[in-house]
């Protein structure tokens, strides 16, 4: 599959790549009241294999939101603690698949 690129959809990802995230359950949402549109997946700490934030234990049932930004950053937001972990993925799509899989998401990229 081709590397990420600027596309007509305003994302660094191609239209097909955005569709792959949507097919995996991600929804397009406005980002925290801003005009930017993100792809988001609401899940739990258990589902993404997270047991702590900055060394502090968190409950398996803690809500988290896996977000993909238009610029190609994957981040995990924990609303209870207002904590965000950001992962800048380079243009290698295998890295995207690995990161998504660690978040419990299978991507068909």
Q: Would the pTM count as exceeding 0.75?
A: no
CA dist., res. 103 & res. 24, Å (int): 11
Is-contact 102 47, C-beta < 8 A?
Answer: no
CA dist., res. 93 & res. 27, Å (int): 20
Report which of residues 25 and 98 the model is more confident about.
25
Alpha helix positions (H), 1-109: 15-23, 93-102
* Token code pair at residue 87: 């992962």
The pLDDT score that the predictor gives to residue 1 is 39
Tens of pLDDT, residues 51-108: 677 777 778 888 888 888 877 778 888 888 888 888 766 556 676 677 677 666 677 6
């Amino acid at each position: 599959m081709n590397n990420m690129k600027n596309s007509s959809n305003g994302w660094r990802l191609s239209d097909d790549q955005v569709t792959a995230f949507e097919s995996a359950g991600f929804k397009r949402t406005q980002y925290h009241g801003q005009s930017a549109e993100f792809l988001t997946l609401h899940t739990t700490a258990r589902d993404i294999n997270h047991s702590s934030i900055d060394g502090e234990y968190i409950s398996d049932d803690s809500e988290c939101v896996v977000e993909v930004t238009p610029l190609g950053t994957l981040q995990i937001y924990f609303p209870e603690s207002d904590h965000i972990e950001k992962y800048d993925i380079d243009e290698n799509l295998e890295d995207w698949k690995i990161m998504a899989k660690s978040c419990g998401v299978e991507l068909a990229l």
